[in-house]
């Protein structure tokens, strides 16, 4: 993983961990890893990036998936609530990276579904970050 990807991951994790409304629901269960009980929890999912070079600026647009996990007997509202909080926390966040520059971060997708088995709610929040090289 490149330093730009690591910086984005660290920025997202720090932002979510510092959000009091999110912490009130998930506590410290915000991490890069697989979803492990107890729920609710937040994990980082898939990511990809494409080059974005314009006006003599080297950059990329990186997409990162944030997964929100709840278990409420098949009810989806807890996953919706958590996904909405994650989206609100990250959309247009003006965070700072150490080496690269975050030009913009936007939420481009929020989806909530039941995982197979019908018990676990799964919220998917996808962000796209425009990152400029140093």
Is the per-residue pLDDT at 33 higher than 80?
yes
CATH number for the domain spanning 93: value is 3.30.2000.30
Is the per-residue pLDDT at 1 higher than 60?
no
Domain count, the chain: 1
With contact defined as beta carbons under 8 Å apart, do 7 and 100 qualify? yes
Is the per-residue pLDDT at 88 higher than 60?
yes
pLDDT of residue 36: 72
> C-alpha 11: how far from its chain's center?
10
Is the per-residue pLDDT at 5 higher than 60?
yes
pLDDT of residue 2: 66
Q: Which residues pair with 126 in a beta bridge?
A: 65, 109
- Cβ neighbours, 10 Å, residue 91: 14
pLDDT of residue 128: 98
The CA-based dihedral angle spanning residues 80, 84, 85, 87, taken in that order and rounded to the nearest 10 degrees: 140
d(CA 56, CA 33): 36
Q: Which domain holds residue 102?
A: 3-132
pLDDT of residue 52: 84
Instruction: Give the mean pLDDT of the chain.
Output: 93
Q: What is the mean pLDDT of residues 114-119?
A: 90
Of 116, 113, 105, 63, which Cα lies nearest the Cα of 83?
Answer: 113
Q: What is the mean pLDDT of residues 59-84?
A: 96
């Amino acid at each position: 993983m490149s330093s730009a990807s690591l910086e984005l991951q660290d920025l997202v994790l720090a932002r979510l961990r510092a959000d009091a409304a999110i912490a009130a629901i998930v506590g410290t269960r915000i991490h890069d890893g697989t979803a492990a009980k107890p729920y609710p929890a937040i994990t980082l999912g898939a990511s990809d990036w494409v080059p974005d070079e314009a006006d003599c600026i080297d950059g990329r647009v990186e997409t990162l998936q944030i997964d929100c996990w709840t278990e409420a007997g098949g009810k989806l509202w807890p996953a919706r609530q958590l996904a909405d909080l994650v989206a609100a926390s990250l959309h247009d966040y003006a965070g700072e990276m150490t080496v690269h520059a975050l030009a913009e971060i936007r939420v481009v997708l929020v989806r909530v579904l039941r995982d197979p088995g019908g018990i676990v709610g799964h919220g998917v929040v996808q962000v796209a970050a425009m990152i400029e090289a140093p």
